[in-house]
């Protein structure tokens, strides 16, 4: 009984069976990596998890609650936060404003007309926002225009926005995509730091094996829409089926 | 502190608005009718800015709410009383309900689809007013006051003449003070001051909304609606709320228009009127506090001036030139003035969208920055 | 039955106009990703090309014929158009068939206008948000409309169809009905056939030429096409010109049906957009289909039988709003439109 239970998820696009009876059980507190060659169906799978796509059959239970068919904001309010491939932030707003929004969402819920309250006067929210920025090492950049940040800083900001809501589950969609080695290491350190200070379950979809083997406690391998292997990192390293599926594609 | 800045802004704004008859006197624009229009369209634009400026959702249909506001007010004048207070209340409520309906339907989609839907629904509302709901709207002729209207709450008026709109006895068309100050003949008129108070109130509301968590969410919708949804916020009711709020402002504006001049016609609901308020907000500076007001005043002011310039006036300007040059310049400038105001407006609008998308406010800021030296601070919290 | 046929026929002329304008709109949106609020203005400009050609052909010299006397007793003035003077019989033919001449003139003129519009303005807005595109093309539409108003005046300028194609045909007889059951103006039939030809031409062009294939590929995935080393920009410019020409020609041929006036562009614009959205944004067959459907629907709604029935319950002139109602219902029930691509999920 994990925090995330995926059962018999199938998804067909015309003639292509994108997801074929996928089952996944994510244990609470673990760092569960989902890997697989290109076209395996990882993005499709993630989109089913967060409400963007509806699978043909199957169920997804988050902490016991069925999640399929729920809207993205409902899923978030249940405790699931998501990090995107390209950092998605509120580019027109300042860093501080970016972080305040998830604070408000966490405290006030999905909708509240508080048109006469003052953002500037909400000490509780402002403190929360300041604290998380400090934790992420971004406090000096508080007043900066977030659209002008470097990619690495945007990633930190996005992470801060997720963490401040104290999610139970963090979904990361190829967080190091397109990054150079230095940035990748920074991201790994950041994720490790989060793991040390908080008890959050993480599901990471990744291509970069270095990242996977640095962080993952469990690995599932998706190939051609089906899970072909699952287990501890060491088990997966030498797994014949995994090598076969990747043949020449892995960056190890 | 932003709070101080806001308070100062509100005070300065209020002073300007209240002293408008004096301030505009040198320009010849200080007569009641025009000043009323500045205030009323300012209210319309401020409300529209809350939707378009903050969330980025472009609605072409807000003229419909202006129209509903006018029709409601006139019906109140006919049925209940010439006192504008109940009329304005009805305008705001009915416009709000109507915008709730239209907003709910239109917001099934976002982006361009939304804009097109509002366009279609606006056109439909216009047709409803013009041809279909004629018992309510009197179609082409428009809704007007008549001597035999019930006016339940009012005492019997003077025989043979239509009563005037008033606020508890203060007549809207009355000039209550006509002094001569600094050599200018000033007219202080109740109609303008009622509108002005409404305007100041509207401006204050918009400040509060901008500075609230609600306003923050609206701005988040504009910059990254998807992210907002994934952050646990349901963007749909926020956008709908902004839509309805802006609809109510439009209703208030419509009601005020009818209060100054008690008739309501379908042409007020044409989508091109909706287009005009978009122009005002974009021209002034969308998403800023003062932009919509600037845009409204700018457009109404120049509309007034331009329509008075005809060929004779032009020849007067170019009189110092030789005849052939004079005629040449008149020929070039002529299409842009007089009845050609729409052409000038369209061209001006294009220029702003292409070169100065931030509008007049942005233009003023750029000039300010050039004058005070380049602003090197990257941090800017508060007013955009 | 004959009433129904008549209404269908009544609807296809407006429907053809909607279909043609919506076709251009969808082309521009699908290839360039630009929302073009000035498209109705292109329709209007086409109509005014026809007006201009008509005026040019009409430029006459005036001679006095002392042998004839007009009703006031003065020597009669004879107006002789220059073209008849220069070209004799051919000149008369040109005046008679001015609409056809306008079509020939309009093709290069409208393509040129389209290209100038695209290179001069539209291309700077490819990467700007849709709202900005709407705003600037809206401004352009106003400017174009006002220029025409300044040049040609505010009143409609009637144009006539060639004598041969004027008048009506007994359409009913052609489909085996009783005589005089369904009479239909011939020119409207011509307009319908013309628009089918035009639509067919565009579709054939897109399907059977390499140029068309590249454009279709660009519609599906612009970036990849660019990466393949194909200069998509030039092709898109030409595409814009073609879309402008289609709208313009629709306008030219429409002039005998409805006298051109300066705001006909805006009049058709709203419904054209409704057509595009109902048909499914980005779907060319959808746009055409929806155009005809909505035209016919508009016609049916104004049918006396239906109109009176609904008027009886207190709502006169329902035809004015029926299209919008139907469009709204379609969009609520089937957000992607009739033929739009599934999965274009809007929140």
Q: What is the mean pLDDT of chain C?
A: 80
Residue of C nearest to B112 (CA): C130
Write out chain B residues lying below 8 Å of A67, CB-based.
Answer: none
Write out chain A residues lying below 8 Å of B209, CB-based.
Answer: 115
Query: Could you give the 3-state DSSP secondary structure of residue C61?
Result: strand
pLDDT in tens, A40-99: 778 788 877 777 777 888 888 888 888 887 888 888 888 888 888 888 899 989 999 999
pLDDT > 70 fraction of chain C, expressed in percent and rounded: 86
pLDDT over threshold 50, residue C345: no
Q: What is the mean pLDDT of chain A?
A: 83
Write out chain B residues lying below 8 Å of C330, CB-based.
Answer: none
Residue entry with tokens 């998509």: C232
Q: CA-to-CA distance for B275 and C242, rounded, in angstroms?
A: 28
| Residue A252 vs residue A110, higher pLDDT | A110
For residue B254, CA distances in Å to B103, B175, C128, C206 come to 18, 22, 33, 49
Residue entry with tokens 């190829």: A174
> Residue C171: pLDDT band by 50, 70, 90 thresholds?
low
pLDDT in tens, C35-50: 899 999 999 999 999 8
Write out chain B residues lying below 8 Å of C320, CB-based.
Answer: 127-128, 130-132
- Do the chains contact at A88 and B241, CB–CB below 8 Å? no
Residue B383: per-residue pLDDT: 42
When CB atoms are compared, the residue of B214, B216, B226 closest to A100 is B216
Write out chain A residues lying below 8 Å of B379, CB-based.
Answer: 94, 142-145
Chain B to chain C Cβ contacts (< 8 Å): 123
Query: Could you give the 3-state DSSP secondary structure of residue A14?
Result: coil
A103/chain B closest Cα distance in angstroms: 9
Using a CB–CB cutoff of 8 Å, tell me whether B322 touches chain A.
no
Residue B41: per-residue pLDDT: 95
Tell me the two tokens of residue C268: 């058709």
Residue B248: per-residue pLDDT: 96
* Phi, psi for residue A227 in degrees, rounded to 5: -75, 120
Using a CB–CB cutoff of 8 Å, tell me whether B315 touches chain A.
no
Write out chain B residues lying below 8 Å of A122, CB-based.
Answer: 213
pLDDT over threshold 50, residue A5: yes
pLDDT over threshold 70, residue C307: no
- Do the chains contact at B3 and A145, CB–CB below 8 Å? no
Contact between residue B236 and residue B107 where contact means Cβ atoms under 8 Å apart:
yes
- Do the chains contact at B231 and A100, CB–CB below 8 Å? no
pLDDT over threshold 60, residue A147: yes
Residue C111: per-residue pLDDT: 92
pLDDT over threshold 50, residue C344: no
- Do the chains contact at C135 and B272, CB–CB below 8 Å? no
Partners of residue A171 on adjacent β-strands: A82, A203
Closest CA relative to residue C24, chosen from C327, C249, C336, C197: C249
Q: CA-to-CA distance for C203 and C287, rounded, in angstroms?
A: 12
Tell me the two tokens of residue B368: 């300010």
- Do the chains contact at A96 and B212, CB–CB below 8 Å? no
pLDDT in tens, C82-126: 777 777 777 777 777 788 888 888 999 999 999 999 988 888 888
Write out chain A residues lying below 8 Å of B223, CB-based.
Answer: 90-93
Using a CB–CB cutoff of 8 Å, tell me whether B214 touches chain A.
yes
- Do the chains contact at B233 and A101, CB–CB below 8 Å? yes
Residue C222: per-residue pLDDT: 65
When CB atoms are compared, the residue of A74, A101, A142 closest to B216 is A101
Report the side by side order of strands in the sheet with A201-205.
Answer: A80-83, A169-173, A201-205, A31-35, A218-223, A226-231
| Residue C270 vs residue B209, higher pLDDT | B209
Q: CA-to-CA distance for A32 and A6, rounded, in angstroms?
A: 13
- DSSP class of residue B290 equals S
Q: What is the mean pLDDT of chain B?
A: 84
Partners of residue A33 on adjacent β-strands: A204, A219
pLDDT in tens, C232-254: 778 788 888 989 999 999 999 88
Write out chain B residues lying below 8 Å of C139, CB-based.
Answer: 346-347, 349-350, 353
Tell me the two tokens of residue B274: 């909706």
Predicted-complex ipTM score? 0.86
Contact between residue C117 and residue C244 where contact means Cβ atoms under 8 Å apart:
yes
- Do the chains contact at B223 and A93, CB–CB below 8 Å? yes
H-helix segments, chain C:
2-32, 39-58, 82-87, 89-96, 98-120, 130-152, 171-174, 186-208, 210-220, 222-227, 232-254, 264-279, 284-301, 304-312, 319-333
Residues 302-331 of C with CB under 8 A from B: 314-318, 320-321, 324-325, 327-328, 331
Contact between residue B259 and residue B88 where contact means Cβ atoms under 8 Å apart:
yes
When CB atoms are compared, the residue of A92, A111, A148 closest to B234 is A111
Q: CA-to-CA distance for A161 and C214, rounded, in angstroms?
A: 43
Contact between residue B282 and residue B359 where contact means Cβ atoms under 8 Å apart:
yes
H-helix segments, B231-310:
235-260, 271-284, 291-306
pLDDT < 70 positions in chain B: 1, 155-161, 373-384
Residue C317: per-residue pLDDT: 65
- Do the chains contact at C142 and B111, CB–CB below 8 Å? no
């Amino acid at each position: 009984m994990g925090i995330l239970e995926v059962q018999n998820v199938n998804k067909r696009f015309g003639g292509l069976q994108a997801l074929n009876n996928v089952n996944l059980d994510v244990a609470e507190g673990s760092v569960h990596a989902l890997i697989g060659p290109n076209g395996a169906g990882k993005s499709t799978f993630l989109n089913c998890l967060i409400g963007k796509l509806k699978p043909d059959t199957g169920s997804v239970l988050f902490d016991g609650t069925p999640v399929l068919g729920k809207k993205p904001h409902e899923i978030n309010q249940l405790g699931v936060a998501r990090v995107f491939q390209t950092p998605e932030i509120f580019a027109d707003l300042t860093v501080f404003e970016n972080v305040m929004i998830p604070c408000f969402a966490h405290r006030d819920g999905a909708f509240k007309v508080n048109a006469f309250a003052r953002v500037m006067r909400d000490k509780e929210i402002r403190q929360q926002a300041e604290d998380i920025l400090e934790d992420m090492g971004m406090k000096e950049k508080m007043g900066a225009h977030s659209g002008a940040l470097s990619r690495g800083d945007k990633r930190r900001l996005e992470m801060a926005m997720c963490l401040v809501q104290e999610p139970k589950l963090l979904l990361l969609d190829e967080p190091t995509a397109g990054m150079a080695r230095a940035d990748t290491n920074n991201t790994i350190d950041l994720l490790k730091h989060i793991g040390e200070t908080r008890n959050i379950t993480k599901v990471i979809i990744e291509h970069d094996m270095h990242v996977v083997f640095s962080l993952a406690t469990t690995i599932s391998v998706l190939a051609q829409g089906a899970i072909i292997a699952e287990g501890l990192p060491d088990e997966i390293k030498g797994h014949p089926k995994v090598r076969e599926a990747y043949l020449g594609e892995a960056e190890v | 502190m932003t709070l101080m800045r806001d308070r100062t802004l509100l005070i300065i704004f209020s002073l300007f608005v209240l002293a408008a008859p004096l301030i505009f006197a040198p320009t010849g624009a200080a007569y009641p009718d025009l000043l009323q229009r500045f205030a009323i369209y300012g209210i319309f634009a401020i409300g529209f800015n809350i939707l378009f400026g903050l969330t980025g959702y472009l609605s072409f249909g807000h003229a419909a709410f202006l129209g509903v506001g006018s029709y409601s007010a006139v019906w109140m004048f006919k049925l209940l009383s010439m006192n504008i207070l109940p009329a304005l209340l009805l305008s705001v409520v009915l416009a709000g309900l109507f915008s709730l309906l239209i907003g709910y339907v239109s917001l099934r989609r976002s982006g361009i689809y939304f804009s097109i839907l509002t366009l279609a629904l606006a056109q439909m509302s216009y047709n409803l007013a013009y041809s279909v709901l004629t018992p309510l709207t009197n179609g082409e002729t428009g809704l007007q006051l008549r001597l035999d209207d019930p006016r339940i709450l009012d005492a019997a008026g003077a025989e043979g003449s239509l009563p005037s709109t008033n606020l508890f006895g203060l007549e809207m068309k009355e000039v209550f003070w006509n002094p001569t100050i600094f050599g200018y003949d000033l007219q202080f008129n109740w109609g303008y001051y009622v509108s002005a108070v409404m305007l100041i109130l509207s401006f204050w509301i918009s400040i509060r909304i901008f500075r609230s968590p609600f306003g923050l969410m609206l701005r988040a919708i504009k910059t990254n609606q998807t992210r907002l949804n994934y952050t646990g916020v349901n963007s749909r009711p926020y956008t709908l709320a902004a839509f309805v709020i802006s609809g109510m402002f439009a209703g208030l504006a419509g009601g005020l228009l009818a209060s100054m001049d008690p008739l309501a016609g379908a042409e007020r609901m044409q989508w091109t009127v909706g287009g005009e308020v978009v122009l005002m907000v974009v021209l002034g500076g969308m998403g800023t506090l003062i932009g919509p007001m600037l845009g409204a005043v700018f457009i109404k002011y120049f509309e007034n001036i331009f329509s008075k310039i005809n060929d004779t006036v032009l020849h007067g300007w170019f009189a110092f030139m030789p005849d052939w040059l004079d005629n040449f310049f008149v020929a070039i400038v002529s299409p842009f003035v007089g009845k050609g105001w729409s052409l000038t407006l369209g061209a001006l609008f294009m220029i702003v969208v292409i070169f100065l998308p931030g509008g007049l406010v942005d233009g003023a800021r750029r000039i300010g920055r050039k004058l005070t030296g380049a602003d090197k601070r990257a941090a800017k919290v508060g007013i955009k | 039955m004959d009433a129904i046929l008549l209404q269908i026929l009544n609807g296809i002329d407006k429907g053809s106009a909607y279909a043609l304008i919506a076709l251009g709109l969808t082309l521009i949106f699908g290839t360039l990703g630009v929302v073009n609020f000035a498209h109705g203005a292109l329709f209007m400009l086409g109509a005014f090309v026809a007006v201009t050609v008509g005026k040019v052909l009409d430029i006459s010299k005036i001679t006095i014929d002392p042998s004839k006397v007009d009703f006031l007793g003065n020597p009669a003035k004879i107006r002789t158009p220059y073209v008849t003077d220069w070209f004799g019989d051919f000149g008369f033919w040109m005046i008679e068939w001015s609409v056809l001449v306008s079509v020939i003139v309009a093709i290069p003129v409208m393509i040129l206008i389209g290209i100038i519009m695209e290179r001069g303005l539209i291309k700077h807005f490819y990467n700007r948000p849709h709202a900005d595109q709407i705003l600037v093309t809206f401004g352009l539409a106003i400017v174009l409309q006002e220029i025409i108003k300044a040049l040609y005046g505010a009143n409609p300028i009637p144009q006539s169809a060639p004598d041969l194609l004027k008048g009506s045909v007994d359409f009913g007889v052609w489909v085996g009905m009783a005589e005089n059951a369904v009479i239909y103006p011939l020119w409207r039939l011509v307009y319908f056939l013309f628009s089918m030809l035009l639509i067919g031409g565009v579709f054939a062009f897109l399907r059977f030429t390499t140029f068309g294939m590249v454009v279709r590929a660009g519609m599906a995935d612009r970036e990849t096409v660019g990466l393949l080393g194909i200069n998509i920009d030039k092709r898109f410019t030409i595409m814009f010109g073609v879309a402008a020409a289609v709208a313009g020609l629709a306008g030219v041929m429409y002039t005998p049906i409805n006298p051109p006036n300066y705001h006909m562009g805006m009049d058709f614009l709203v419904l054209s957009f409704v057509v595009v959205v109902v048909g499914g944004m980005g779907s060319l067959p959808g746009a055409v289909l929806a155009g005809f459907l909505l035209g016919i629907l508009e016609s049916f709604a104004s049918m006396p039988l239906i109109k009176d029935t609904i008027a009886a319950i207190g709502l006169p002139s329902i035809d004015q709003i029926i299209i919008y109602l139907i469009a709204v219902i379609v969009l609520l029930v089937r957000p992607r439109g009739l033929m739009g691509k599934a999965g274009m999920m809007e929140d």
